[in-house]
Amino acid sequence: MTVRYELVNEIGVITIDNPPVNALSQAVREGLKNAIEGAKFDSSKALLILCTGRTFIAGADISEFGQLPKEPSLPSVLSAIENSEKPVIAALHGSALGGGFELALACHYRCAIPTAEVGLPEVTLGLLPGAGGTQRVPRLAGVEAALDLITSGAPIVAEKAQQLSLIDKVLEGDLQEVALGYAKALVASGAQPRRVRDITIDPATVADDLFVSYRSKLKKRARGQLAPQHIVSCIEAAAKGSFDQGLQTERALFIECRESEQSAAMRHMFFAERNASKVEGLPKETANREVRSVAVIGGGTMGGGIAMCFANAGIPVKLLEISDEALQRGLQLIAKNYGVSVKRGKLTEADAAARQRLITGTTLYADLADCDLVIEAVFESIEVKKEVFTKLDGVCKQKAILATNTSYLDVDAIAAVTSRPEDVIGLHFFSPANVMKLLEIIRGDKTSDEVLATSMSIAKKIQKVPVLSRVCFGFIGNRMLRQYTRETQLCLIEGSSPEQIDRVMVDWGMAMGPLAVGDLAGLDIGYKARQALSDEEKGEPKTYCIADTLAEMGRLGQKTGAGYYRYDPETRARSSDPEVLKIIEAEAHKQGVTRREISNDEILKRLTLALINEGFKILEEGIAQRPGDIDAVYVFGYGFPPYRGGPMFYADQLGLKNVYEMICAYRDKHGELYWTPSALLKELVQEEITLAQWVSDRSLPFRQ
């Protein structure tokens, strides 16, 4: 049974047993409601709700996402709990999240063990708490604390929850034993049902401009998102009206969020993130290799960030550099980064020091002999990387995993210089590596199942979102980025300004505009990468001549104070530079391009459709396993707005027929060189199949 009821002396104990996370399935909701109603007629004097396993109710049943609601609804269950004439106590352990925490809030008393966490993460799915969370939290914790908790979606520990009056008692010891003791003590004291709905918020505790200022803050922090602003409206209703009026507001706005394209996109990303680590065709019994020590070659920004990823997970790291001076610079950079975390309150000095001690330096390849995983993070040159892997092949122990952090280069060519290509894999971190969640895992032709399985596992251990890619130039992310960058450069030379292009993409939801990103990364990176390509590989000069000219002038972006924009040497604040427009106009003249006015709509379509079309080509070639993997790459690695669901989900929302017709229109206008529609896209349109249908049916084109 998912819900059991038993009488323990004078306490009615309701036990939820719905592994693995006691999700609020229909069976759990029905069992709870039946237990509450059945307890009316027995000799119990109080009711105690407990969960088996590792956690309290961790949220909704994800298998019910997108389906019609099944009775009894969660609000009706919570109403039964709150209206019980006998005190109902929730005993929390593990995570009480979403509907699980809303259930606890509907109880009359709440206790928890110290390791328990509570929270309302619905905003991360484009939703808001729909069972009274926005009404009960501000009545207990205060309006401002409720705004912070619910709009962030972040969980808080039991001690913090107690400070906010969200939990009444933190108890040490065996949960069932101490919770029963707490329930008995309440009965002995004559405690009565204590309903949160009966609390009135004192208007004097709410600053006059609180809601206006909080909305303004959210416009920056959660730019373009619907749910956070609706959460503010719900909490404002709690502060200014009755509980029932607030519930009506919450319900109406919850339904609006649930039916929105934003929530559909964010729910898609929830599943895309979960599915990304699943490798099709990889036997479940594949063994993982043990990774107890790691080496990183290269102590620059990327190498240092990678070293921090493993140190943060408690794994010792050896950092190798070519000289003592370079090594000291790398270690100092790591120390500086940890210092910033301490200054921001994200780490204690003791924690930062402990993590730094896990990172030791060396200049000798021989010192890497016993490492289980070695990650090369040196200059993006195939010859340099081959030289490194030749050395590693000579010193590393058998079964050590040899990984390259290349962004573009051929992993198979790098593996071929070793005597063990089956142990070689690509681990493409994104900068700053200690912050960015994405890890592209590139499987070479000879990479073993063991190495792949271990890489997927270690990615989770260092809290990355792993996405599998096959070998091609740029893999998933940077291969698509080339097309996005191409259209950015063409829009620039054909008539746009850097400010217009960046503004269009940021207003649409991108974390940064493409040209501002170029300045941040450094224009020399793309310039050097192009120098290694043939003229044919580089493409038409008009797709890169502006960027090359700026780089050759020493305008490399933020680090030199000038790129597409000018930057204040102290604050790095960005400002427009009329000189850049002159450079653009001069290059347009050289390339025989007559500049024209380009609309915001054209910029948006050209940049997003370039991503989408290349994404379809990546799918048809089998470079990516599934559309959701591509979406995960772009949301977690390239600042694509999660509330648009990634390029491939966005294509389905636009309608594949519309996408195909727009690409064909650009082909007719600009030529086939850049705008030949993907064969997969064309096939799906002809068959009237969505990407979602294509994923679920292996008999469809390109899925056999």
Catalytic site includes residue 422: no
The SS3 of residue 258 is helix
Residue 67 above 80 pLDDT? Answer: no
Determine the Cα–Cα distance for residues 415 and 402; give it in Å rounded to an integer: 9
Catalytic site includes residue 597: no
Residue with tokens 């709990």: 81
Of 95-109, 284-298, 688-702, which range is least confident? 688-702
Regarding the domain with residue range 3-258, which homologous superfamily does it belong to in the CATH classification? Answer: 2-enoyl-CoA Hydratase; Chain A, domain 1 (3.90.226.10)
- pLDDT class of 154 with cuts at 50, 70, 90: very high
CA distances from 573 to 21, 557, 562 (A): 46, 12, 11
Q: Which two tokens stand for residue 528?
A: 């050097």
Predicted confidence at residue 119, as pLDDT, reads 97
The C-alpha torsion from 74 through 77 and 81 to 83, rounded to 10°, is 110
Residue with tokens 């896209």: 681
The C-alpha torsion from 261 through 262 and 265 to 269, rounded to 10°, is -170
| Every domain range in the chain assigned CATH 3.40.50.720 | 294-472
More confident residue, 537 or 584: 584
- pLDDT class of 496 with cuts at 50, 70, 90: very high
The active-site residue, picked from 82, 117, 122, 321, is 122
Determine the Cα–Cα distance for residues 638 and 632; give it in Å rounded to an integer: 9
| Every domain range in the chain assigned CATH 1.10.1040.10 | 601-696
Residue closest to 647 by CA, chosen among 610, 611, 685: 611
Query: Which residues neighbour 273 within 8 Å (Cβ) at sequence distance 6 or greater?
Result: 465, 632, 636
Residue 207 above 70 pLDDT? Answer: yes
Determine the Cα–Cα distance for residues 310 and 431; give it in Å rounded to an integer: 15
Q: How many CB atoms lie within 10 A of CB 510?
A: 24
Predicted confidence at residue 1, as pLDDT, reads 85
Predicted confidence at residue 186, as pLDDT, reads 97
- pLDDT class of 700 with cuts at 50, 70, 90: low
Predicted confidence at residue 570, as pLDDT, reads 86
Topology annotation, domain 294-472: Rossmann fold (3.40.50)
Q: Find the mean pLDDT for residues 161-189.
A: 96
Residue 272 above 60 pLDDT? Answer: yes
Q: What is the CATH number of domain 478-599?
A: 1.10.1040.50
More confident residue, 535 or 335: 335
Q: Are 59 and 120 in contact (CB under 8 A)?
A: no
Predicted confidence at residue 430, as pLDDT, reads 93
User: What sign for the dihedral angle of Cα 504, 508, 512, 515?
Assistant: negative
Residue 701 above 70 pLDDT? Answer: no
Percent of the chain with pLDDT over 90: 90
Q: How many CB atoms lie within 10 A of CB 158?
A: 24
Predicted confidence at residue 241, as pLDDT, reads 93
Predicted confidence at residue 607, as pLDDT, reads 98
What is the CA 252 to chain-centroid distance, rounded? 28
Percent of the chain with pLDDT over 70: 99
**95-97, strands of its sheet edge to edge:** 95-97, 117-119, 156-157
Q: Are 464 and 437 in contact (CB under 8 A)?
A: yes
Under DSSP, the state recorded for 43 is S
Q: How many CB atoms lie within 10 A of CB 594?
A: 8
Q: Find the mean pLDDT for residues 474-502.
A: 96
The active-site residue, picked from 10, 30, 71, 102, is 102
Residue 698 above 70 pLDDT? Answer: no
Predicted confidence at residue 521, as pLDDT, reads 85
CA distances from 242 to 62, 196, 211, 478 (A): 32, 12, 18, 53
Q: Classify residue 525 by burial, with Cβ atoms within 10 Å: 0-12, 13-18, 19+.
A: middle
| Every domain range in the chain assigned CATH 3.90.226.10 | 3-258
AA letter at 633: V
pTM for this entry: 0.93
Residue 703 above 70 pLDDT? Answer: no
Query: Angle 226-240/143-152 helices, nearest 10 degrees?
Result: 160
Q: Find the mean pLDDT for residues 216-241.
A: 95
Q: Are 20 and 72 in contact (CB under 8 A)?
A: no
User: How confident is the model over 297-334, as pLDDT tens digits?
Assistant: 999 999 999 999 999 999 999 999 999 999 999 999 99
- pLDDT class of 572 with cuts at 50, 70, 90: confident
Q: Find the mean pLDDT for residues 668-677.
A: 93
Determine the Cα–Cα distance for residues 680 and 154; give it in Å rounded to an integer: 40
User: How confident is the model over 431-468, as pLDDT tens digits?
Assistant: 899 999 999 999 999 999 999 999 999 999 999 999 99
Chain mean pLDDT for the chain: 95
Q: What is the CATH number of domain 601-696?
A: 1.10.1040.10
Predicted confidence at residue 529, as pLDDT, reads 80
Predicted confidence at residue 539, as pLDDT, reads 87
Residue 704 above 60 pLDDT? Answer: no
- pLDDT class of 388 with cuts at 50, 70, 90: very high
